[in-house]
Amino acid sequence: MTNTIEHHECLIIGSGPAGYTAAIYAARADLKPVMYLGMQPGGQLTTTTEVENYPGYPDGIDGPAMMEDLKKQAERFGTDTRWGMITEVDTTARPFTVKADDGKEMLADTLIIATGATAKYLGLESEERFKGGGVSACATCDGFFYKGKDVAVVGGGDTAAEEATYLAKLVNKVYLIVRRDELRASKAMQNRVFNTPNIEVLWNHNTKELFGEEKGFTKTLKGVVLINNKTNEERVIDIEGFFVAIGHKPNSDLFAGVLDMDTTGYIMTKPGTTTTNIPGIFACGDVQDKVYRQAVTAAGTGCMAALEAERFLASQND
């Protein structure tokens, strides 16, 4: 007996605000979307305890709970959500041939890529322990929780400088931890840092360890141990927030050499759209957005991708 290869009008790769929103719109357009949830179902927000800047949640919401809400909404309209990852995509002909990690092979008339990006961390075991309990990779997401407190930002580029100056408006003091004796940030961003009185730059320092209180599932960061890479001296700083700003890696490896990308791997889309260089393939959310990286903007591009996929399919049938 020959297995019939599934043929879908719309296949969504990845979840999170972009993927789920794309699924909601695609399902309501009767495209019967199939979504593979990916390596981190729900995306980066599943590592965030409290989301307070997404419209419609006046009291805030837990990140994983919000993603579960979006998943249920997508499924309510008929989205077929599946655990697993897409491991191969043949874009040489349409419909595209797609393989999942369980070996299943499918055909898809359109693809919506919503694989997101992964924040780069230092790789410390203590850093992993205090994620969601003081350690963050997004100042605009979590800075509000540290009003009036002392925090640290690690990094020396534009992102670190931007996060430090953003936090300086909210917190008591910002320590900017820089492993070199200069910033890589642009001169304009450097000037902002140096002209902000409650930012103290700690040159030639690396992070050795984070420490705090751990009671059951509740973890509260209390400080960081630094090491001067010139003198080898240790320094302990009391902080309640530790923001890692050493960049993000877009999860775009599956399409390397196939889709147009910038030098850091973000998928390039036609300005004002989610269309890629291959007709029928659309990219939304953090895999193509290195500027805003917010849940609400990701959701917006997810909506755009579904609408564009619907219009693309309609144009093929004309």
**Residues with catalytic roles:** 138, 141-142
Q: Are strands 218-228 and 205-215 parallel, antiparallel or unpaired?
A: antiparallel
- Bond into 64 cis (ω within 30): no
What are the DSSP E strand ranges found in the chain?
6-13, 34-36, 80-82, 86-90, 96-100, 105-113, 117-119, 135-136, 150-154, 173-177, 199-202, 205-215, 218-228, 234-238, 241-244, 248-250, 281-283
Report how far Cα 211 is from the mean position of its chain's Cα atoms: 26
Cβ(133)–Cβ(219) below 8 Å? yes
Cα-Cα end-to-end distance for the chain: 36
Burial of 274 (0-12, 13-18, 19+ CB in 10 A): buried
Rg of the chain on CA atoms, in Å: 22
Burial of 50 (0-12, 13-18, 19+ CB in 10 A): middle
The candidate with the shortest Cα–Cα distance to 40, out of 63, 56, 61, is: 63
